[in-house]
Structure 1
Amino acid sequence: MFSKEIYINRRNQLKSFVGSGIILLIGNEQSSMSFKDNWYPFRQDSSFLYFTGLDTPALAAIIDVDNNTEIIFGEESGVDDIIWNGHTPSLKEMAELSGCSTTKSFNELKSFVKNAADRHQSIHYLPPYRPEQGLLLSHLLSTPLTGVDAGVSTILIQAIVSLRSIKGKEEVEEIKKAVAISEALHLTGMRESRAGLTEAHVAGLVQSVAISGGGNLSFPTILTTHGEILHNHYGNHILPPGKMVLLDAGAETAMHYAGDLTRTFPVDAAFTSLQKDVYNIVLNALQTAAAAVQPGKLFKDIHLLAATKLTEGLTALGLMKGDAKEAVAAGAHTLFFQCGLGHMMGLDVHDMENLGEQYVGYTPEMKKSTEFGLKSLRLGKALEAGYVVTVEPGLYFIPELMDIWAAEKKLSQFINYDQLPAFRDFGGIRIEDDYLVTPTGSELLSTSLPRTVTEIEAIRQKALA
């Protein structure tokens, strides 16, 4: 945990933003894997964690804005809990670490919420993203499960997005730890991959670095030689010579702050000539986009800048033609770049997206696009100092998508369809780094992970020597 003063200050800011009513924050529960006592690894709700610091299952917090009181609800450990799980701090001890002086039994939560409703206090709560959260809210609010979403507090969502978006110095240090561990696990993946091993074998080595760093993965590892599939998780597929490995992985610290990096490297000791050409197109787009990251800049514009650089590179390669800006405006680049350039990162690897992408990445005046390609851009609004964002351009050669577009001759004024067959088995390339937006520009957080062709080939050659 951070110091209790940090959590007290965060809750005071939240109360000031929301203005009135009670704020109900629900922590996560244990979730069973195959039978009741066989649990998935516990992961606390990030907003509950942000405002309390308490990383323990089956807790809830009430922040009564009108009466300026704060209560932690939970249960004390029983003898069976101590036998199986060891001693844990009392509920009062945990609450004091968070700067709360009042605790109550979890069984009293429903009556507290009911009394607040009877007093006509507004009850602010967040959208549930786990079934048990929805069921608990239905119980506490005495409303059908189908009606829970209708009562979600927009004011609370906006308040939390406003507060969590700007990272404090202690958060930045924790994110830097996560990124440093993420760099280490990527280096392990680069050094240990070789033809004949399975993706799963390498992914296991990657995860071991995250665990030994004191936390775990920040999301399930993407490790594949079919990089054209955007979220292709590892399997028991053999790494074949001549292909590239796309490794998208990140570590989460013990305090649950995330890192998220991607590198693409050859299974062999070196890229082929074509792989190198395409890789450098993506790298140029990354470097150009990263240089544009600064306060006040619309991330959507940075996305379109990266798309333009990708298009220019593909034009030089002979896959595209015409004016690059016109091609991007028409959406021709989305045959090869179908996703968004990046996202916010913090306590969640896609920070706060359970609260709604429109609230996190856009504004009431700036709506999320529904167009192919742009609809996958999670962050579009103007950047602010204190944001932590990823920048991750890529080129993805999806045979099925190329066939559909070729059959329609879609946007043929920008695409040389006769050149596509040479790329049917190419795969995909993505390069991703993490950046802190500073008052004057940005700071690269992933400073130690090689990303140029020369650097990556040096690692591969040494690993395979």
Structure 2
Amino acid sequence: MFDKNTYTNRRKALKEKGLSGIGIITGNGEAPMNYLDNTYHYRQDSNFLYFFGLDFPGLIGVIDFESGEDFIFGDDFEIDDIIWTGPQVTLKENAAKVGVEKTAPFAKVFDLVRDAQQKGRKVHFLPPYRGDNKILLEKLTGLSALSINAHASLDFVKAVISLREVKEDQEVTEIEKACAIGYDMHVAAMKMAHPGVWEQKIAGTIEGIAIAGGSMTAFPIILSQNGETLHNHNHSQYLEKGRLIITDAGAESAMHYASDFTRTTPVGGIFTQKQREIYEIVLAANNKATELTKPGVTYLSVHLAAAEVIASGLIDLGLLKGNVKEVVENGAHALFFPHGLGHMMGLDVHDMEDLGQIYVGYDDEIRPVDQFGTAALRLGKRLKPGYVITNEPGCYFIPALIDKWQAEGINKDFINFDKVNEYRGFGGVRLEDDILVTETGSRILGKRIPITPEEVEATVNSK
């Protein structure tokens, strides 16, 4: 964890956001795989980590916005626990590491919340995403677990986002540690991209690299020759020469900060002409987006600029036709680029998505665009120094989507379907870097994973 002043200062900043009453931040419990004592790898709630820092289950934090007091509730280990886990420090000792003086057994949180309610004080909580925390909040507040998310405090949500969205220098350092692990994962995947190799062997190998780096993957690995399926977690195929493999993977640092990279690799280490042409279009879009990323610009505008690069390249190849800006304004490019350019990243790979993507990625000035493709953009608002974001343009040939648009005549004035149908079976290309918005522009975090066609081919063919 960071030093205790980090957590004290974060809670102090939260108290200065003008909220009244108390704020509840639930930690995560263990999650059983198939019976109570056989659990998944533990992952603490990111909001709890941000404000209270303690990375183990059975905790709940409360902040009194008026008195300024902080509380951590949890139970100390008993001898039956210690037999299995070894000696443990007390809750009070752990709480002192993050600057919290007031601790009590877990059950006492009910008394504190009940007292606040009886005094007519506001009880704020964040939207829970785990069933056990929904039930806990039901018992604490008296609100139904089925509707608990509808009662989450929007003021609390916005206050937390306003703090977490701008990364401290020490957080950037942690993200760069995760990027270093991600680099090793992707280079290993490239070197294994040879005919006859089982996709699962590659996925398992790079997951092992993430675990060996100190924590776990930041999200389930996406790795497939069928890259036209954007989030393909099926790793059942054996690699075939002449195909492309998309690997979308990242790691968590030991302190749970994420990385998120995507690379596209030709099986066997040589791009065909057709593959290289599409690849270079996506690479140009990626580089253009990095060039445009700086404080004060909206990421919506960067997304649309990347879309224009892709559209322009596809016009040159004869897949699209017409004026580039009209192509993008009408959304014809989204047949090939049906997702957003990127999202925020930090303690979560889709940072703070549990708090509501509409509040993380948009604001009163910049609202989501209701058009296929751009509607999937998770981050559109104006960029600030300290934002950590992903830059991940792509180009895909999705048979079901091609069939739908062709049958319904969608954007037929801009799409050469005869030419598009020549690319059935192509798969897709996606290239993703992690970007820090600086005071004057932006920079790619970590050592850039091989990305030019020449670098990728050389990596696949290296020992």
- The bucket for the TM-score relative to the shorter chain is over 0.9
Alignment partner of 1:437 is 2:442 = no
Quote the residue 2:346 is aligned against. Answer: 346
CA distance in 2, matches of 1:16, 1:311: 46
Quote the residue 2:403 is aligned against. Answer: 403
Contact 1:433 1:446 in 2 (8 A): no
CA distance in 1, matches of 2:251, 2:219: 8
- The range that moved more, 192-201 or 259-268, is 192-201
CA distance in 2, matches of 1:271, 1:81: 57
CA distance in 2, matches of 1:320, 1:447: 35
Query: After superposition, what is the alpha-carbon deviation per residue over 1:90-146, rounded to whole angstroms, capped at 9, x for unaligned?
Result: 100110001001101101111110110111111110001111111100000122223
Alignment partner of 1:298 is 2:298 = yes
Contact 2:337 2:395 in 1 (8 A): yes
Equivalences for residues 311-390 of structure 1 within 5 A: 311-390=311-390
Alignment partner of 1:90 is 2:95 = no
Equivalences for residues 187-226 of structure 1 within 5 A: 187-226=187-226
Contact 1:222 1:248 in 2 (8 A): yes
Alignment partner of 1:233 is 2:226 = no
Equivalences for residues 68-217 of structure 1 within 5 A: 68-217=68-217
2:143 match: secondary structure: coil
The code of the aligned residue for 2:203 comes to: A
Quote the residue 2:310 is aligned against. Answer: 310
CA distance in 2, matches of 1:87, 1:324: 66
Question: Percent same amino acid at aligned positions?
Answer: 46
Contact 1:203 1:234 in 2 (8 A): no
TM-aligned CA deviation for residue 67 of structure 1: 1.4
The code of the aligned residue for 2:351 comes to: D
1:462 match: secondary structure: coil
Alignment partner of 1:275 is 2:275 = yes
CA distance in 2, matches of 1:426, 1:330: 25
Quote the residue 1:38 is aligned against. Answer: 38
Query: After superposition, what is the alpha-carbon deviation per residue over 1:424-445, rounded to whole angstroms, capped at 9, x for unaligned?
Result: 1000000000110001000111
CA distance in 2, matches of 1:365, 1:382: 9
TM-aligned CA deviation for residue 356 of structure 1: 0.4
Contact 1:296 1:384 in 2 (8 A): yes
CA distance in 2, matches of 1:110, 1:151: 18
The code of the aligned residue for 1:212 comes to: A
1:366 match: secondary structure: coil
Contact 1:18 1:156 in 2 (8 A): no
TM-aligned CA deviation for residue 153 of structure 1: 0.6
TM-aligned CA deviation for residue 225 of structure 1: 0.3
- The range that moved more, 375-384 or 141-150, is 141-150
Quote the residue 1:253 is aligned against. Answer: 253
TM-aligned CA deviation for residue 238 of structure 1: 1.0
Show structure 1 runs of 5+ residues with no match: none
Show structure 2 runs of 5+ residues with no match: none
Quote the residue 2:64 is aligned against. Answer: 64
CA distance in 1, matches of 2:457, 2:335: 29
Q: 1:18 to 1:83 in 2, by over 3 A?
A: farther
TM-aligned CA deviation for residue 186 of structure 1: 0.5
TM-aligned CA deviation for residue 412 of structure 1: 1.5
CA distance in 2, matches of 1:171, 1:150: 31
Q: Detail structure 1 runs of 4+ shifted over 4 Å in the superposition.
A: none
RMSD between aligned residues: 1.0
- The range that moved more, 412-421 or 217-226, is 412-421
TM-aligned CA deviation for residue 70 of structure 1: 0.8
TM-score (norm. length: structure 2) = 0.98
TM-aligned CA deviation for residue 22 of structure 1: 0.3
Contact 2:311 2:320 in 1 (8 A): yes
Quote the residue 2:26 is aligned against. Answer: 26
2:435 match: secondary structure: strand
Query: After superposition, what is the alpha-carbon deviation per residue over 1:175-222, rounded to whole angstroms, capped at 9, x for unaligned?
Result: 111111101110011112221121110011101111111111000000
Query: After superposition, what is the alpha-carbon deviation per residue over 1:343-379, rounded to whole angstroms, capped at 9, x for unaligned?
Result: 0000000000110011000003432233211221000
TM-score (norm. length: structure 1) = 0.98
- The range that moved more, 386-395 or 415-424, is 415-424
TM-aligned CA deviation for residue 449 of structure 1: 1.1
Contact 1:282 1:393 in 2 (8 A): yes
Quote the residue 2:11 is aligned against. Answer: 11
The code of the aligned residue for 1:168 comes to: E
Contact 1:221 1:234 in 2 (8 A): no
Count of residue pairs the alignment pairs up: 463
Q: 1:366 to 1:448 in 2, by over 3 A?
A: closer
TM-aligned CA deviation for residue 157 of structure 1: 0.5
2:264 match: secondary structure: strand
